[in-house]
């Protein structure tokens, strides 16, 4: 056996035992029935998939998709001008990039907790507003969908800035000179030249933000206080409190399918580029 | 490259950038600042280190810290070894199946990774009679951080010329010697960076851990999470500031090594 085959052997074992096998088990569970004490029993059935069409669960999927789309849009609106600023900076470009990356390197849990600390009834924002006499009772900033959206945007913002910055950086300045020579005003040049040309970066960033947001569990649980149920929370609930593993598995399989579908084109290109 | 001719209202963009960086960093800065506040309320009294002292008097936090450290070190060793070997193997010959699986593992929602590993462990335990514990968390962390390691090491490999190994073998080295003495030394910065990334990813994870941890293997994020669900406390501010500082130091080391 050639040396390179030995080097890939552990990866094949990982793939089989810790990646494919768990997913195969979940897939098979999704076609089984729930036992009387929360276990998994025969016979094979489609029942869990039929239950997905219950309006209650369709609403959860819909809510998750809307939340993920809103977070993606929020990230895009906040990230684009920032990426433009960094790409146009003549000095300290490296420093600005590091500043974008820095929160990305700190713990995700800590970053989410920071918003809990700021938004809660006795948190910094409410305390400051109350002591300034602007409000008399705390604003309900936490445990609603707004807080979850804010947490998601904050959590995944760097994923949007970097790909957009990368395309802006490659933008040929001659195109902008041409636009200016032909009489385009700065704003027209921005929306008719810069934005269309940075579409690859916008697409990559959107995928990178949308996918983790669609399956988010931690942010809705912590900042939604259990009141905002997204798909991730539904899966967790079925595997713990509700102990309905077949249904939880069916939800997971559908979520996996949606995520893979969203990532498909991007995956094919990136996987070719990077490895 | 500059875009000198392209002039958008520049001061506005600069002001925006200021607000953007403030949005990104002020939450963490205020969080850390209030960890030094003597009051347990969000009103500044005076400077105090009492919340840092409280960390070391909380047996749950200490146990979580210990468990997280053990898990992160073991999982990092596991994923760095497999990931490095995998990156090298893929450098020699592509494998669409492995590459596809690595990327798929990256886009899999954490909660799905968590429940599928839980399902695997429970299924295996039916015959083995084992129970969830530290080692299931180590396996889970190792499993999901392999993709990160492969990507970082593969990025480093792209700077290595394959001709070097061929030259070594022309001069009489075996395939193994060529790897060990030619390619591996060139990879060390990438491997160290990958290991540090795996370390931080493992140390930070809550979602997957909470699914596969046993009753005796509460990690630091799990303890923090339980505290945060009960409500904010300055002790969490203090431990958060500590984690951020340690992460920061690790990343600084990683950057230094990568540039070397």
Backbone angles phi, psi at A33, to 5 degrees: -105, 160
Closest residue in B to A275 (Cα) is B154
pLDDT at A272 over 60: no
* Cβ contact, residue pair A252, B150, below 8 Å: no
pTM for the predicted model, two decimal places: 0.89
| CA-derived radius of gyration, chain A | 23
Task: Give A270's pLDDT tier (boundaries 50, 70, 90).
Answer: low
Domain A45-274: which topology?
MetI-like fold (1.10.3720)
Spatial contact of B42 and A127, defined as CB atoms under 8 Å apart: yes
So what's the pLDDT on residue B4? 46
Residues from chain A that touch B2, judged by Cβ atoms under 8 A, are 88, 90, 173
So what's the pLDDT on residue A268? 67
- pLDDT tens for residues A163-172? 999 999 888 8
- pLDDT tens for residues B240-252? 888 888 888 887 8
* Cβ contact, residue pair B89, A259, below 8 Å: no
So what's the pLDDT on residue B9? 52
How many CB pairs below 8 Å do chains A and B form together?
273
pLDDT at A132 over 90: no
So what's the pLDDT on residue B23? 94
Higher pLDDT residue, A193 or A12? A12
Task: Tell me which DSSP letter residue B28 carries.
Answer: H
Domain ranges of chain A: 45-274
Closest CA to A116 of A20, A197, A244, A223: A223
Give the separation between CA A212 and CA B207, rounded to whole angstroms: 13
Residue stretches of chain B with pLDDT short of 50: 1-7
Tokens 């962390």, located at residue: B141
What is chain A's mean pLDDT, rounded? 87
List the single range of A7-16, A88-97, A111-120, A148-157 with lowest mean pLDDT.
A88-97
Spatial contact of A255 and A49, defined as CB atoms under 8 Å apart: no
Give the best-scoring range by mean pLDDT among A83-92, A117-126, A147-156. A147-156
Spatial contact of B32 and A124, defined as CB atoms under 8 Å apart: no
Which residue among A19, A114, A212 sits closest to B105, beta carbon to beta carbon?
A19
Give the pair of three-digit tokens for residue B72: 């992160």
Q: Could you write out the three-class secondary structure of chain A? A: CCHHHHHHHHHHHHHHHHHHHHHHHHHHHCCCEECCCCCEECCCCCHHHHHCCCHHHHHHHHHHHHHHHHHHHHHHHHHHHHHHHHHHCCCCHHHHHHHHHHHHHCCHHHHHHHHHHHHCCCCHHHHHHHHCCCCCCCCCCCCCHHHHHHHHHHHHHHHHHHHHHHHHHHCCHHHHHHHHHCCCCHHHHHHHHHHHHCHHHHHHHHHHHHHHHHCCCHHHHHHCCCCCCCHHHHHHHHHCCCCCHHHHHHHHHHHHHHHHHHHHHHHHHHHHHHC
The residues pairing with B37 across neighbouring beta strands, listed in sequence order, are B47
* Cβ contact, residue pair B175, A19, below 8 Å: no
Residue B131 host element (H or E): none
Which residues 107-166 of chain A have a CB within 8 Å of chain B? 107-111, 113-118, 120, 122-124, 127, 131, 154, 157
Share of chain A above pLDDT 90, in %: 45
CA distance B117 to chain A (A): 6
Give the separation between CA A143 and CA A154, rounded to whole angstroms: 16
Tokens 């079925």, located at residue: A238
CA distance A55 to chain B (A): 22
Report the pLDDT averaged over residues A266-274: 60
So what's the pLDDT on residue B128? 82
Give the separation between CA A107 and CA A103, rounded to whole angstroms: 8
pLDDT at A266 over 60: yes
Specify the 3-state DSSP secondary structure of B47: strand
Task: Give A184's pLDDT tier (boundaries 50, 70, 90).
Answer: confident
Give the pair of three-digit tokens for residue B45: 């009294």
Report the pLDDT averaged over residues A44-54: 87
Q: The dihedral of CA A145, A150, A153, A155: what is its sign?
A: negative
So what's the pLDDT on residue B10? 66
Task: Give A273's pLDDT tier (boundaries 50, 70, 90).
Answer: low
* Cβ contact, residue pair B1, A82, below 8 Å: no
Task: Sketch out chain B's domains with CATH numbers.
Answer: 58-259 (1.10.3720.10)
CA distance B135 to chain A (A): 14
So what's the pLDDT on residue B94? 82
């Amino acid at each position: 056996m050639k040396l390179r085959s030995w080097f890939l052997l552990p990866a094949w074992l990982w793939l089989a035992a810790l990646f494919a096998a768990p997913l195969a088990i979940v897939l098979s569970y999704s076609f089984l029935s729930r036992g009387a004490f929360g276990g998994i029993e025969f016979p094979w059935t489609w029942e869990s998939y039929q239950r997905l069409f219950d309006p209650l669960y369709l609403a959860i999927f819909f809510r998750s998709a809307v939340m993920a789309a809103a977070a993606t849009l929020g990230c895009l609106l906040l990230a684009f001008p920032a990426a433009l600023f960094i790409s146009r900076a003549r000095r300290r470009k490296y420093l600005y990039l590091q500043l974008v990356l820095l929160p990305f390197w700190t713990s995700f849990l800590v970053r989410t907790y920071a918003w809990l600390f700021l938004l809660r009834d006795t948190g910094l924002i409410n305390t400051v507003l109350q002591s300034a006499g602007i409000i008399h009772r705390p604003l309900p900033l936490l445990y609603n969908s707004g807080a979850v959206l804010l947490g998601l945007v904050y959590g995944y913002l760097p994923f949007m800035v970097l790909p957009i910055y990368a395309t802006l950086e490659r933008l040929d300045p001659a195109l902008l000179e041409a636009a200016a020579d032909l009489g385009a005003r700065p704003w027209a040049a921005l929306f008719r030249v810069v934005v269309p040309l940075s579409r690859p970066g916008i697409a990559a960033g959107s995928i990178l933000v949308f996918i983790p947001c669609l399956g988010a569990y931690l942010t809705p649980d912590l900042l939604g206080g259990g009141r905002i149920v997204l798909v991730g929370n539904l899966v967790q609930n079925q595997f713990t409190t509700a102990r309905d593993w077949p249904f939880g598995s069916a939800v997971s399989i559908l979520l996996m399918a949606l995520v893979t579908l969203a990532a498909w084109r991007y995956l094919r290109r990136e996987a070719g580029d990077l490895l | 490259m500059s875009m000198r001719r392209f002039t958008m209202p520049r001061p506005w963009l600069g002001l925006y950038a200021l607000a953007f960086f403030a949005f990104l960093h002020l939450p963490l800065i205020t969080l850390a600042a209030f960890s030094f506040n003597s009051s347990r309320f969000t009103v500044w009294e005076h400077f105090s280190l009492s919340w840092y002292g409280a960390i070391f008097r909380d047996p749950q936090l200490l146990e979580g810290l210990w468990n997280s450290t053990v898990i992160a070190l073991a999982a990092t060793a596991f994923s760095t070894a497999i990931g490095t070997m995998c990156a090298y193997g893929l450098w020699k010959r592509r494998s669409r199946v492995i590459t596809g699986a690595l990327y798929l593992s990256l886009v899999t929602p954490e909660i799905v990774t968590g429940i599928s590993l839980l399902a695997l462990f429970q299924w295996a335990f039916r015959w083995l009679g084992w129970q969830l514990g530290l080692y299931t968390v180590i396996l889970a962390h190792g499993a999901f951080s392999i993709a990160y390691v492969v990507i970082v090491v593969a990025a480093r490999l792209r700077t290595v010329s394959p001709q070097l190994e061929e030259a070594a073998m022309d001069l009489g080295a075996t395939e193994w010697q060529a790897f060990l003495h030619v390619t591996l030394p060139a990879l060390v910065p990438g491997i160290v960076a990958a290991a540090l990334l795996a370390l931080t990813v493992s140390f930070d994870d809550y979602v997957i851990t909470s699914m596969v941890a046993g009753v005796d293997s509460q990690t630091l994020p799990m303890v923090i999470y339980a505290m945060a669900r009960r409500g904010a406390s300055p002790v969490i501010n203090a431990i958060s500031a500590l984690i951020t500082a340690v992460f920061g130091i690790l990343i600084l080391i990683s950057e230094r090594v990568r540039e070397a």
